[in-house]
Structure formats: C-alpha cells, structure tokens
Structure 1
Amino acid sequence: MDMFKIIWFLIIFVSIVSVEVAGRPAVTGSEEDEELEKQLKLLNKPASKTIKTEHGDIIDCVDIYKQPSLDHPALKNHTIQMEPSAFPEELRGHGTPLSSSNLMEVKPRRLTCPRGTVPIPRIQKEDLIRIRSLPKTTKANTYNPSDNDIHVTHFADCHIREDPTNHIYGASAMFSIYNPKIATIYDFSGVSIWIQNFQGDKYNSIRAGWIVNPNLYGDNNTRLYTRWTVDRDDQTGCYNTLCPGFIQVGSVPLNQVLNQPTHGDLQSTLDLLVFKDPKTKNWWLTISKNRILVGYWPSNLFDVLKDNAQRIAWGGFAYSPGNEAALEMGSGQFKSNDQENTCFAGGLQVIDEFNLYRDPSKFTIDAYSDKPACYGVDYRGNTTGEIGYNVLFGGPGGLKCGN
C-alpha cells in the first residue's frame, strides 16, 4: 500500500471517531500490529524536542515544513503562511466592550518548541486501537437541523439562517467552560463555532470549541478541539491534526486541557476567532482577540467553503450512542437568563467582506434545540455591558431525550 493510500485509509478511520462502538477495543495478530506501526510512522514525524504535559499528553516539536498535515494530496506544493495578511478590525465607533467582572479568559498554554518547529500531539498505539474498533459512521458531526439522519447527536444553538445572499468571512465568540459528565467512553459533549456552507448535496464545515471526548483523548478532561469536513463527514475530515489538513503555525497544541481558574466565583471562558484571510483565502483559527495564532485550514481543502460561508452557528452538542440516556450539555443545566449557571456563547460577532467585525443583528437569527425537553436554548440578543450578543444553551440530558 503506497503512502497516500495509507494516509487516506487512516483519514477514513479517524473521521469516524465519534460513533457508536459495539465492543471493547482489541488488537489481534502480528499483521494488525504491523499495520498500526506503519500508520504511526506516517503520522508521527521526527521530533527535535518532546514535551510531556502535566496531563500525560506527549507533544512532539516537529519541523513546521514536515508536519503531517502537509501529507494531504491537495497540499503537495503548499506554501505555508506564517501569519494572516490582516486581522479583522472593529467597525469604528461600534465596538462593544465586554465588562462582566466575573469572567476570566483561559488562554491555552503555549509550548516552548525550538524555532522552526510546531507542537504536534503524538499519536500512540492505543489511540489507533480505539479508532480501528469503530464499525460504522453515523454522520454524527454533520450539523444541519433539516437532516433526518441526525438521531444520536443533539444540538442546542443559535445560528444565522442559511441564505445564499449571506457572505460571511468568519465568526468569533467567548464560550464559558464546563466539564459535562460523560457516562461511557463512547459519549462526547462540547461547544462549537460552526462555519458552514451548503450547496445542493454538498456540505463543508469548520468547527472550533471545547469538548469532552474520552474516545478521542482517552480521558474526561475538557479540551480545545477543531474539526473539518468537505462531505458531511462521509469520507473526509477529522479532529485536530489527526489527519492531513489543518496547518499548525502557532505554539498552541490543539488537544490541550483547558484548566479552569481557582479564583472564587470567576467564570472561565474560551475566546475563539475563525476568519478567512482576505488575500490567501485560508481559514485561520486564533485564540481571543489577543491574536494568539494556532493555524489555518488551506482554502483548497474545500469546495463550497472555498470563498465564504452562508451560515454560522454558536452552541452546544452532546452525543450518546444507541439506547443510552442523553448526557449533559454545557453546564449540565439550563436556566433562562442565568449566565452564571448556564453555558453561554457571548460576544457573538461575524466578519464581513471588508474584514470588519459586525454584530449578528443584520442577519436573521434562529434559536434551535432538537430536544427541547432536555436541552434549552435562549438567544438574548445584546445584553449591553455584560457579554454582548449572546446565547445560553445546554441541559442535563437524561432518558426523556431519547435517541
């Protein structure tokens, strides 16, 4: 099997890490072990330095020009962009300062790698074993409320209504951080910004947020994550850097644990910005408006998302397989107008064609929960002086949700 065939074989496995698993992961036979070792050699590039974090993660400092994402066939001759050509700017006189005194932004840890290298989480054999145990896809990570095949991943969000006249070039939000309870290794729960485009049967999306996913990470910690797809998670796309695609340029590893503050009643937040570079058309991910660079998705990975987005969503999701009771989303409770106890996405803004921040008021905003009996959603518009344009979402899950 040549290199690209092995890579795309792995992509298919990795892109289905969020589905129902019927049995316990197991590896049998020397041939299977040999195949695992081949895949590990392809994914784990030589490192000039290795860092073990306090949470047991192994991070390799890999030559930026030899990172595994460049193995993607579409990126064979890709020239790495080291920083955006321009960052989005506030519309003069329209900036909305967020002044809630009980918020503390959690800035993901930046690792000290040698110059010219980037931090790439090492993939270990047990990670691939979990992936290889998965029997089928369920398109569990495709987000579109009109899809009838979404029956195991629940959503609660607010979104800009899909419209072919929308020309959106990014979005930002600050999410409150929680650690929802997970019932089994096969469950996951998290929050996201969704950057999306639909065209007939085509669907492209980029996601960024935090997630608790033991099948992906091997623990129940709340972690930074990204995900992308160009075909409704059918054959393409994956989390973080687990398959070729996302180009890492900053010093923030994508799998890192988001530690919450221990300062009394302060609410920890994760501030994210995804935006399209006005010159290169690459989709950038940065942490907060302090412009902490993480990396980007090259524009030529996409087809209908190559130019702009027509739909943006902010909110939460929760997955539990089969006949299990649905699990917690967000803080595990929902109280309308109570941002201290309910998960929120605040400071909601979109990026326009002039690379300017705009509030969502110029668009039609819908609030949606596929299971309102157990997950609430409350789009509150602009609560001036607190968290700007915002949405509250989440809930306890339970048997009443059903699958």
Structure 2
Amino acid sequence: MLIIIFLYLYLATNNYYIVDARITSISQDQEDLDLERQLKLINKPPRKTIQANGYIVDCIDINKQPAFDNPLLKNHKIQLKPSFEVTSIESTRLSSIGIEEDLCPAGTVPIRRTTKDDLIRAKQLPDKNISILNNDIPGRHYAGLKLNKDGSHYFAISGIIDTYNLPVQNPDQITSAYIYLSNGGSENDKNVIMTGWEDPETKNWWVMLQNKSLGYYPEVLFSNLAFANLGGWTGMTSTPTGIPSPPMGSGHLPDNNLLRSCYIRQMHFQIDTSKNLGPIKDVYAVPFKDSSCYGVQYEGWNDEIQGFAMLFGGPGGNCGE
C-alpha cells in the first residue's frame, strides 16, 4: 500500500515527490545526528583500546565511566569491593569469554564500545520487555519458583541459568529467564533488581559471577529497596495479541531430565543472616505457572554441582491470555 501511494504522488505532481523525498532525507539525517550525539555521550575517551571477540573494548577511567552521567551519582564515592564474601556457591568453570582482567591499566574499567547498530537494536526492543510477574499484561506467561515466606526480608539471590537459543516467530516476542528481587510496591514505586547481593554496610547491590564481583548498583539509585520482600527464579514469555506464545526454556516441559529440560541450578538466597539458603519448598518458596503451555518442577537438593535446582519451560502455542 505504501508503494502504491508513493507512485501515485509521483505521477500526480513532481513537486509532491520532491517535497516527500526531502522530508524523508531530513528525517533520516536528523536520526543519524541524534545517534552520533548519543554515541559521543556514551563512549568516553579511552586510555587504552582492545580488540576482543570481534568487539572493541575501551579502558575507561573508573571515575569517568558512563554511570557518572547520572546526576544522582554526582558525589558518589566508588566502592572497589564488597564488604562481604560469597564462598558457598560452587559451579563448574565457564568457557572463557571477554578479556583478561589485567589487560586494562590500573584505575580503569573495561567497557565494550557502543555502536550505532547497538542503539538501533535497542530502539527496536519492545516496551516493557521485562516485568516482574505481571499477569495483567496480555500475552505474558511465567513458570518458576517464588519466595513467599511472610515477613521475610531478602538481601541476596543467585543461581545459574541454563540457556537456549529458541526461535521466535515475531520480533515483538520474548522468551527469557531471570532471577529477581523486588520490594513489591506499587507499579509507580516498585524497585526491582535482576540478581544481586546487598552489601550490609553500604547498601549497594552487587552483581557476582563465580564468586567474583563484577560491579554494583549504588543504593542511591533505588527509592525503596533497603531490602526485598519478593524474589524468585522464573521463565517468562511474551507475545503480541493473536500470535501463539513462543517456547520457554528448552522448549520442552519438565520431565526429570536435566539433559532435556531447561534448569536453574545453584539456587540460593539470603535473609537477615549472612548464611546462604536454598529454596525450601512450602517453607520459603513455591512453584507457580499460569498456563498449561509451560511447566515447572522443583528438584530440591541434587548434588554439589547442581545444588538446589528447578526445571522449567514448555513448547508454547495458544496459551490463552
């Protein structure tokens, strides 16, 4: 239809065609300028540049990293390491990715350089692509395990998520899995963090991988997350109205087979003490799902490698609203 209209305008009057072409060109040029401005703001001047895995990684002065563009962090003092140690979570060694940690000079942090294509892809992501157990959104479904002991305050949550590259039929579809803590407030005052450990001294929320501290979200960024009263491990799918839901997890319903079903293992959380706990079914956590298209199966404690684990997922399809 757009092609037909365009040809009609061209045949009707050359003036229409010229004006239309100029507007399109200006609009595209303006968008390119906007993207270039964003790139200049995001990509700070590096002290060193590294080529790694097909990407450009810049070594940025730790005090000039993009996070400090946020006015809330104007007077923030960087915390170089957490005041606590995480030592009880065991995991097999992951394949090496990224860069060696000592390639950047002291006093700098490695940041992958953002490209114009990155910004374009970010703009194409659907709105509200992540929402914590919001069943009011049409086409959204969950299957997982949620912490539910009344009166508990949660200060940390963790786990290792099995991942699959599942096909989707529509660019607006989502299939994902995540770990979260939330204060459970209203939509206008709800603070959520996707996996983290709260530092008991600074109240910053640290992200850890294989017992290593990757970085943290400063406490000042949250309006209402001194502690969390909700949390969990879940799979989630989302699809536009009228389009069948995509698969979740491995695309198979849980069937006691870790080689077939998607899983989250080494599931831990912390309450008021610093001791790591596993999700004890019916005491601290309960399985949930909202559609027959997906399932969840809590395995409890397995062994030192799997730890506390759950299976989740399903084929998707016409799951209902």
TM bucket normalised to smaller: 0.7 to 0.9
Partner of 2:41: 42
1:207 aligned partner, one-letter code: M
| 2:220 match: secondary structure | helix
Alignment match of 1:67 (pick from 57, 65, 68): 65
Partner of 2:119: 128
What CA distance in whole angstroms lies between the structure 1 residues aligned with 2:123 and 2:179? 28
Pairwise CA distance, 1:204 = 1.0
Partner of 1:282: 204
Pairwise CA distance, 1:285 = 0.6
Partner of 2:184: 198
| 2:47 match: secondary structure | strand
1:302 aligns with 2:222: yes
Distance 1:357 1:364, change over 3 A: closer
* 1:154-303 alignment, distance < 5 Å: 154-161=141-148, 163=150, 165-201=151-187, 202-208=189-195, 274-288=196-210, 291-303=211-223
More helix by share: 2
Partner of 1:33: 32
What CA distance in whole angstroms lies between the structure 1 residues aligned with 2:213 and 2:230? 24
What CA distance in whole angstroms lies between the structure 2 residues aligned with 1:108 and 1:355? 30
2:154 aligned partner, one-letter code: I
1:191 aligned partner, one-letter code: A
What CA distance in whole angstroms lies between the structure 2 residues aligned with 1:27 and 1:187? 32
| 2:81 match: secondary structure | coil
Instruction: Write the deviation string for residues 134-187 of structure 1: whole angstroms up to 9, x where unpaired.
Output: 6x73x3412134x42x22332211010274x11111012122232222334443
What CA distance in whole angstroms lies between the structure 2 residues aligned with 1:106 and 1:334? 27
Distance 1:182 1:162, change over 3 A: farther
1:58 aligns with 2:56: yes
Partner of 2:11: none
2:63 aligned partner, one-letter code: Y
Pairwise CA distance, 1:309 = 1.0
Partner of 1:251: none
Alignment match of 1:338 (pick from 232, 238, 257): 257
Partner of 2:280: 361
| 1:113 match: secondary structure | coil
What CA distance in whole angstroms lies between the structure 2 residues aligned with 1:61 and 1:323? 46
What CA distance in whole angstroms lies between the structure 1 residues aligned with 2:208 and 2:56? 23
1:194 aligned partner, one-letter code: Y
Distance 1:380 1:132, change over 3 A: closer
* Percent pairwise identity: 35
Partner of 1:226: none
Partner of 2:138: 151
1:119 aligns with 2:110: yes
More strand by share: 1
Determine which structure has greater relative contact order: mean sequence separation of CA pairs < 8 Å that are 6+ residues apart, divided by chain length: 1
Q: Is the 8 A contact 1:107 1:287 kept in 2?
A: no
Pairwise CA distance, 1:41 = 0.8
Partner of 2:5: none
Larger-gyration structure (1/2): 2
How large is the Cα RMSD of the aligned pairs? Answer: 2.7
What CA distance in whole angstroms lies between the structure 2 residues aligned with 1:78 and 1:384? 42
**TM-score, normalization by structure 1:** 0.66
What CA distance in whole angstroms lies between the structure 2 residues aligned with 1:333 and 1:57? 34
State the number of aligned residues.
293
Q: Is the 8 A contact 1:326 1:401 kept in 2?
A: yes
Q: Is the 8 A contact 1:180 1:331 kept in 2?
A: yes
Partner of 1:220: none
| 1:29 match: secondary structure | helix
1:33 aligned partner, one-letter code: D
What CA distance in whole angstroms lies between the structure 1 residues aligned with 2:84 and 2:313? 35
Pairwise CA distance, 1:31 = 2.4
Which runs of no fewer than 5 residues in structure 2 stay unpaired? 1-24
Distance 1:37 1:384, change over 3 A: closer
Q: Is the 8 A contact 2:138 2:241 kept in 1?
A: no
What CA distance in whole angstroms lies between the structure 2 residues aligned with 1:168 and 1:30? 49
Pairwise CA distance, 1:353 = 2.2
1:331 aligned partner, one-letter code: S
Distance 1:27 1:178, change over 3 A: farther
